[in-house]
Chains A and B, each alone.
Chain A
Amino acid sequence: MSQRVLEVLKEKFGSAIVETHSFLGDDTAVVDPKSWKAVCAFLKSDPQMAFDMMVDLCGVDYAGFASGPGGATREARFEVVLHLYSTSRRHRVRVKARVGDDEGDDAQLDSVTDVWPGVNWFEREAYDLLGITFLGHPDLRRILMYPEFTGHPLRKDYPANKTQPLVEYRTEAEAGLTLEKQAPFREDEGMPFGRRVWGVERGES
């Protein structure tokens, strides 16, 4: 439906469009991170494109991803995925940029908050959960996690059962109780998200 968008993009930006594909009706253009903002501004302002609505922006961590499009020859760790919709022309497009090295340190991308104001919180979320920095963002703070949180929980190398309590757990000596008697988790309770699990051999699973 909107494959024409991909053609126009390729024509206009040439080598800045790394690859395009249409899979299950979703048309995707992978953009060179350096041209990210220029491509977005063009998609918004060009009357043929008229993508006035930013639908979604999210990041995907591909560390350790084996198969699928892109394959194992992936040089950037993260993908920033932007979904756009045009209310007047009723077409959609997905624009992606690949950023970050294996350590996830160098994940930077231009912010597009002045193209679509609504992207503000979405970029903050991608920063919060994946640690992708958006350059020029007016207010790049954590949004879902609390300010004291360290790390980026949606990265594949962040253990899902790691806990970061704001108030430190008391040790057995401090509490005068064994761990099993202390809130919030006893060993037999709930999912293995308890405080003994992370970093310590647990014995049972």
Chain B
Amino acid sequence: MEPIDLDLEESELELPAEPMHLNMGPSHPAMHGTVRIVLELSGETIVKSDVQIGYLHRGFEKMCERGTWAQVFPYADRLNYVSPMLNNVGYALAVEKLCGIEVPDRCQWYRMALGELARMSDHLTCTGAMAMELGAFTPFLWYIKAREMVWDILEEETGARLTHSFGRIGGMAKPPTPAFKQMCREALPTILGLVEEGEGMLLKNRIFLDRLEGVGNISGEDAIALSWTGPCLRASGVPYDVRKAHPYLKYDEVEFDMPLGKNGDNLDRFLIRLQELRQSARIIQQVCDRMPDEGPVNVDDPRVVLPEKSEVYTTIEGTIQHFKLIMEGAKVPAGEVYSYTEGGNGELGFYLVSDGTGTPWRVRIRPPCFAITGGLSKLINGAMLSDIVPTFGSLNMIGGECDH
């Protein structure tokens, strides 16, 4: 009997297969709880994918149209809930741009320090979670330990660990505490030490590297065309950082580098975040050296800033001012404005339309995650099923912000 398989082409040996449909999420451990990906698979290769979001949609923009301008701050906290302070500051800057207010120097430094702390917390969460999803649990615990230190500082400053609601139009809710600078100076070396330890554990691990290197590649042009911003765009080698390109607050007065990637793969996105952690620490150190200890934090503008409690309880002017600001809200001049800052995941824009009353006509947030998640299909089509987990993890999709 002659062997029949010798002159067969390899392709003929493959069995004809129907494409298989698979639902990934919305309740999947790697989907961060809120995304559903409908996949069409051929074997383990993804042929087509449909990313569906909206499971965490809470009508942020509709809610904003119901309250006063100041009542948006708690909602803004809950957009990107791993770096709420950046949202707070971004929204405050947008309203201040519309009002024509510039906050005092001390407040600008303070906002920068808190914002960079929030960015550290964001990047620590993202890189830690990414490692955990690939099976490396220990670095995750170390990074969460480091994040706890960041949160301890934020808790000392704002009274809340996660949703601070600390921004105000024309300033901050409270001035920096006396211990602020010292807490930062003490915590930063420990945090960076933990980052380095975790990095050492991961970047010599072949399993970890093999799953990141050369997976989920995207070129710089493609990333721009998909409206990507932030660490994901810089990982593809495009030097665009709002803090450098269009400095706000005091970012033009501090020294920091903009780390850039080469290949735009998962490993680059992972490394960029680790690099940015160090740059954020550098910025915080400079802020600690340069932020004045005395001086006002809020602008002296009774139209937008709440009076001191002592005045509210003792003078009629203070009482009326407080009452007007709470009940009617600060009157923001009519007009429209687009203000953008560098959030944890990229350009965080607020487009505000005011009709001159105490209630916003339209608050539009430009969530960086939304554009980035929109490009996920492009990254995973043609890849293997198991590549979704590191690719999705490296994008750092935050449901609250993406679904707003």
Contact A23 B366, beta carbon cutoff 8 Å:
no
A119: chain B residues at CB < 8 Å are 227
Closest to B227 in A: A118
Which stretch in B167-175, B317-325, B348-356 binds the other chain?
B348-356
Contact B375 A68, beta carbon cutoff 8 Å:
no
Closest to B225 in A: A117
B66: chain A residues at CB < 8 Å are 160
Residue B290 interfacial (CB < 8 Å): no
The contact of B370 among A54, A83, A121, A145, by CB within 8 Å, is: A121
B229 to chain A minimum Cβ distance, whole angstroms, is 8
Residue B240 interfacial (CB < 8 Å): yes
Contact B240 A54, beta carbon cutoff 8 Å:
no
B53: chain A residues at CB < 8 Å are 143-144
Residue A116 interfacial (CB < 8 Å): yes
Contact B336 A53, beta carbon cutoff 8 Å:
no
Per the bound structure, the CA–CA distance linking A67 and B357 in Å amounts to: 10
Per the bound structure, the CA–CA distance linking A205 and B309 in Å amounts to: 30
B61: chain A residues at CB < 8 Å are 129, 154
A154: chain B residues at CB < 8 Å are 61-62
Contact B356 A87, beta carbon cutoff 8 Å:
no
B38 to chain A minimum Cβ distance, whole angstroms, is 12
Closest to B100 in A: A24
Per the bound structure, the CA–CA distance linking A34 and B337 in Å amounts to: 25
Whether A24 contacts B98 in the complex (CB less than 8 A), given A58-B364, A118-B227, A144-B54, comes out as yes
Whether A160 contacts B62 in the complex (CB less than 8 A), given A66-B355, A116-B225, comes out as yes
Per the bound structure, the CA–CA distance linking A153 and B100 in Å amounts to: 31
Residue B401 interfacial (CB < 8 Å): no
B348-404 residues with Cβ-Cβ distance < 8 A to A are 349, 351, 353-356, 361-362, 364, 366, 370-371, 373-375, 403-404
Contact A116 B238, beta carbon cutoff 8 Å:
no
Number of interface residues of B (CB under 8 A): 46
Contact A56 B364, beta carbon cutoff 8 Å:
yes
Per the bound structure, the CA–CA distance linking A41 and B347 in Å amounts to: 23
Residue A14 interfacial (CB < 8 Å): no
A90: chain B residues at CB < 8 Å are 245-246
Residue A69 interfacial (CB < 8 Å): yes
Contact A65 B337, beta carbon cutoff 8 Å:
no
Q: How many A-B residue pairs have CB under 8 A?
A: 109
Per the bound structure, the CA–CA distance linking A129 and B228 in Å amounts to: 22
B37-58 vs A: 1/0 string, CB under 8 Å? 0000000000000001110010
Contact B349 A87, beta carbon cutoff 8 Å:
no
Residue B207 interfacial (CB < 8 Å): no
Per the bound structure, the CA–CA distance linking A23 and B238 in Å amounts to: 29
B207-232 residues with Cβ-Cβ distance < 8 A to A are 224-228
B373 to chain A minimum Cβ distance, whole angstroms, is 8
A69-99 vs B: 1/0 string, CB under 8 Å? 1000000000001010001001000100000
A116: chain B residues at CB < 8 Å are 225, 227
Contact B225 A60, beta carbon cutoff 8 Å:
no
Whether A65 contacts B361 in the complex (CB less than 8 A), given A60-B353, A145-B57, comes out as yes
Contact B338 A94, beta carbon cutoff 8 Å:
yes
A60: chain B residues at CB < 8 Å are 353, 361-362, 364
The contact of B349 among A55, A69, A142, A145, by CB within 8 Å, is: A55
Contact B374 A68, beta carbon cutoff 8 Å:
no
The contact of A67 among B334, B337, B403, by CB within 8 Å, is: B334
Contact A160 B63, beta carbon cutoff 8 Å:
yes
Residue B33 interfacial (CB < 8 Å): no
Contact B366 A55, beta carbon cutoff 8 Å:
yes
* Interface pairs (6), CB distance under 8 Å: A24-B337, A69-B336, A83-B366, A118-B226, A146-B54, A154-B62
Beyond contacts A81-B351, A142-B54, A160-B66: 17 other A-B pairs, Cβ-Cβ < 8 A, are A23-B337, A24-B100, A24-B335, A52-B224, A55-B340, A67-B334, A67-B356, A69-B334, A69-B335, A69-B336, A87-B224, A118-B227, A121-B374, A154-B61, A160-B59, A160-B62, A160-B63
Q: Which 5 A-B pairs have the closest CB atoms?
A: A118-B227, A68-B334, A121-B374, A56-B366, A144-B54
